[in-house]
Structure 1
Amino acid sequence: MTNNITNGRLTSLDALRGFVMFWIMSGEHIIHALAKAAPIPIFVWMSSQLHHTEWDGITFYDMIFPVFLFVAGVSMPFSFEKKMKVAGVTSPMELPSSEKRKIYLSMLKRTCILLILGFVVNGILRFDGFDKTRFASVLGRIGLAWFFAGLIFLNFDLKKQIYWFIGILIGYFLAMKLIPVPGFGAGILTKEGSLEGYIDRLFLPGRLHSQVYDPEGLFSTIPAIATALLGMFLGTFLKSKNDFSISQKILMMIASAIILIVLGLLWDYSFPINKHLWSSSFVCFVGGFSILFFTFFYLTIDVLGFYKWAFPLLLIGSNSILIYMASEGLVNFKHTADYVFGGLIKFSSIDWQPVFTTMSVTFIQLALLYFLYKRKWFVKV
C-alpha cells in the first residue's frame, strides 16, 4: 500500500476531480466528434451519455456535477483535520468558539468567492442588465452546499450528521410532493409545476437558466447539501482510525454504493431521478456511483500505487476551478489550437478533422495545466 497524499489531500481525490472535469473541458467534444467520424456502437453510446437528460432520467453527464460536489465533501474532514491539530483537539465539536469563528469566516469567504466566480462565468461582467444576468451557477451551488455541510460537520457528531442527511432527503421529498403550487397543485414534478421552479420564479433574481426554473436554483440547493454530506461521510470513514483492513474498507464502500443505488432506483418510482430538481432519488443513485468512482481511483492510486497513468487527470484536478472557468468561455482554446495545429489537421480526412481539432484543444489545455503545475501555480479557493 502507498500513501500518496499531495498537499494534505488524497491523490485519488485530485485524479477523480480531474476525471469528471476532463469531460466538461473538452472530453465530451472528442467523443461527439468520434461518434460522427466512426459511428460504431460504443462511440454512439458514449456520445449519448454525454448529454443531459431532458427531464427525468440519468446519463453519465448528469453525474459530473454531483460527483465534483461529492469530492469536495470527501476532502472536508481532511481539510478540517489540520485546523483541529493546530487547536490540539480531536473532534470539530471540541474546537473553542474563537477558533470556530475563524473557520466560519474562512468558509464564508470561500463561499462568497465561488459565488462571485459563478457570476463571472455567467457573464456578469458583460453588464447586460440585472434582468438578463443569471445569478445561479454551478460554482455557487458548490460553495453553498459545501458551506452548509461544513456547518453541520463542525457542530454535530456523526450520528446527528446522518440524521441531517436523512432529514434533508425526506424533508425535500415531502415538500416537493405535498406543498401545493398555485395553479398546479401539490406533487406536480414538471418544469413549470414543481415547487422548486415556483420558488425560483418567486425569489431567484435575474434570468433563470430555463425560463420557468433554474437547475442550480434556490430550493434544489438544499438536497445538494446532502450530496456534500455523503462525501463527507466517506472522508470521515477513510480518515478514522479503526481496525478495518484495506480490503474490508473497499468492500464496505462497494456495499454502501450498491445500497444507495438500489435505494435511488426504488425511490425513483415515487420521486423520479432528476438532476434538474436534484431529487432525493438522484442524490442516492448518483451518490452510490460517486462512491464507486472514488473506490476505483482510491484502490488503483492510493492503495496499489498505480498513479502514473493518472498524471493528466492530476493536472486537471489540481487546477479544476481554473480550467472550468477557462473552458466555460473565458479562454478561446480552439483559436490557439487552430493556430498551432490547424495546418497539419487540414491534411487529414474531412470526416476526421473535427476529431483531431477537438484533440488539439485538449492538448493545448493540458499543456497550460502542465506549465502551471510545474511552477506550482494553483487557483485555490
Structure 2
Amino acid sequence: MNSVPNKSYRLESLDILRGFDLFLLVGLQPILVAIGQVWDNEFYHGFLYQFDHEIWAGFRLWDLIMPLFLFMTGVTIPFSLDNKKGGAGGPIYRHILRRFLILWLLGMVMQGNLLSWDWHQFKLYSNTLQAIAMGYAVTAVLYFNLGIRKIVMMAIFLLVVYAVPFMLEDNFSEQDNFAIRLDRMLLGRFMDGAYWGDGQVVFSQHYNYTWLWSSLTFSVTVMMGCLAGKLMKDGVKVIPEQVFRQLIWLGVICIGLGLLWSIQMPIIKRIWTSSMTLFSGGICFLLMGLFYYIIDLKKIVKPFQWLKLYGMNSIVAYFLGEMLNFRSVVHSLTYGLESMLPQYQELILTIGNFTLVFLLLLALYKAKVFVKI
C-alpha cells in the first residue's frame, strides 16, 4: 500500500499539471501555429485545429486551457483553508479579498485596457484572471463557512440557476442569448467588445464572450477543483489508490452528464454553459487523477520536473508569455539567420521568444524566486 506524505507535503502533481497548462498556452501553441504558417500539410492543419477555440458550439483541446486554470485554483483551497477553519474569520476574508483584488487588477492589465489611460478603452470584466478571481472568492468564502458537502450542493444549484433563463428562452444564438444581453445591459460601455461610435456605445457583432452570468459557472468549475483538492488532501485517511479512482469516476460521470445535458443545452465555452462546465470539469478531474497517480502515488517525477518552471511561477509565466514580447531582442540576435531564411522568420522569432521566456523562468526557479498572490 502506498502512503501519502504528511500535511506539509506539497502536491507536486498540481504544480506539474499547472505547468503543463501554462506550457501549452505560452510555449507550445505559438510554436505549433508558427510551424503551420510555413508547412502546408493537411494532416498537420487538422491537428492544429485543436489548438484554437471553437467558434461557438462544440469543444476543442484549446477550450480546456481556461477551465483547467479555474479547476486548479479550486484544488488549492482546501490546502490553504483547512487549517484555518475554526479561527477568526477576519484575516481569512482579508486574504480572500486581497487575492481577489490583485487577480482582478492583473486581469485588467493583461487585457491591456488598464494601462491605456483612456476611459473609452476601459473594460471592467474581460479576462481569465478575473474569472479566476470571481470563482475563487465565491468558492473560498463558501468553503470556509460551509465545507465540502454543501459546496457540492451549491455547485449543483448554480448549474441549474444558470440554465433556467436559457431553458425558458431556448435561445443559444451568438448575439442574442440571455448572458450576452445581461453583459450589455449591466456593463454597457465597460464591456469588452464595446466601442464608441458617433458618441454612443456600439457592441461588436464579432464579440460573443460573456462574463457576468457566466460567473455562476466559473464558480462551479472552481468548486469542482475544490472537491478534487479535498479528496487528495484527505487521501492520508484512505487508500491513496481509492482517491485516484474517485477522481477518475468523477471525471467520467461529469463528462457523461455534460454530454447528456448538451442535448438540451449545447456545450459552448464562450458563454460557459452548464453542459460545458460539467464536460470540461470532467476532463479536468481525469487529468488531475492521472497526474496525481503518476506524480504523487507512483513518484514518476523526473520526466516532468521541468514543467515546475511554469507551474510554480504561474503568474510570472502567464505575464511573460502573454503580455511581454521579446521578439525585438530575438531579432537583434537572429536577423542574419532571418535574412537567409525569410520564409521562416516568424518561426525563428517565435521559438526565440519562447526560449527567452523559458530561460527567465529557469533562472527564477534556480534562484528559488516564486511569485505568489
| TM-score normalised over the length of structure 2 | 0.89
Aligned Cα RMSD in Å?
2.4
Structure 1: where are the runs of 5+ without partners? Answer: 85-91, 179-185
Instruction: Say if 2:166 is the partner of 1:176.
Output: yes
Distance in 2 of aligned mates of 1:5 and 1:158: 21
Q: Which residue of 2 aligns with 1:64?
A: 65
Instruction: Say if 2:10 is the partner of 1:9.
Output: yes
Shift of 1:205: 4.9
1:122 to 1:303, Cα distance in 2 relative to 1, 3 A: same
Shift of 1:292: 1.5
1:60 to 1:308, Cα distance in 2 relative to 1, 3 A: same
Please tell me the residue identity of whatever aligns with 1:208: M
Match of 1:275 among 269, 278, 290: 269
Instruction: Say if 2:355 is the partner of 1:363.
Output: yes
Distance in 2 of aligned mates of 1:53 and 1:5: 42
1:5 to 1:365, Cα distance in 2 relative to 1, 3 A: farther
Q: Which residue of 1 aligns with 2:137?
A: 147
Contact 2:175 2:208 in 1 (8 A): no
* Aligned pairs for 1:320-339 within 5 A: 320-329=314-323, 331-339=324-332
Shift of 1:321: 1.1
Distance in 2 of aligned mates of 1:24 and 1:51: 11
Q: Which residue of 2 aligns with 1:88?
A: none
Shift of 1:41: 5.6
Q: Which residue of 2 aligns with 1:183?
A: none
Instruction: Say if 2:106 is the partner of 1:117.
Output: yes
1:78-124 CA-to-partner distances (Å, cap 9, x unmatched) read 1113x43xxxxxxx3xx14xx21210111001100111111111223
Q: Which residue of 2 aligns with 1:87?
A: none
Match of 2:176 among 161, 184, 193: 193
1:40 to 1:248, Cα distance in 2 relative to 1, 3 A: farther
* Aligned pairs for 1:1-381 within 5 A: 9-40=10-41, 43-81=44-82, 83-84=83-84, 92=85, 95-96=86-87, 99-136=88-125, 137-178=127-168, 186-211=169-194, 212=203, 215-241=209-235, 244-329=238-323, 331-344=324-337, 352-381=344-373
1:305 to 1:352, Cα distance in 2 relative to 1, 3 A: farther
Distance in 2 of aligned mates of 1:75 and 1:155: 16
Contact 1:135 1:206 in 2 (8 A): no
Please tell me the residue identity of whatever aligns with 1:334: R
1:273 to 1:173, Cα distance in 2 relative to 1, 3 A: same
Shift of 1:65: 0.5
Shift of 1:42: 5.4
| TM-score normalised over the length of structure 1 | 0.87
Contact 2:254 2:282 in 1 (8 A): yes
Distance in 1 of aligned mates of 2:225 and 2:99: 18
Contact 2:19 2:308 in 1 (8 A): yes
Distance in 2 of aligned mates of 1:374 and 1:266: 47
Please tell me the residue identity of whatever aligns with 1:369: L
1:244 to 1:291, Cα distance in 2 relative to 1, 3 A: same
1:328 to 1:338, Cα distance in 2 relative to 1, 3 A: same
SS in 2 for 1:9: coil
SS in 1 for 2:34: helix
Contact 2:54 2:63 in 1 (8 A): yes
Shift of 1:335: 2.0
Shift of 1:132: 1.9
Please tell me the residue identity of whatever aligns with 2:331: D
1:265 to 1:127, Cα distance in 2 relative to 1, 3 A: same
Please tell me the residue identity of whatever aligns with 1:192: Q
Shift of 1:290: 0.6
Structure 2: where are the runs of 5+ without partners? Answer: 195-202
1:281 to 1:320, Cα distance in 2 relative to 1, 3 A: same
SS in 2 for 1:276: helix
Please tell me the residue identity of whatever aligns with 2:27: S
Count of aligned pairs between the two proteins: 360
Taking only the aligned residue pairs, the percentage that are identical comes to: 29
1:2 to 1:27, Cα distance in 2 relative to 1, 3 A: farther
Please tell me the residue identity of whatever aligns with 1:359: I
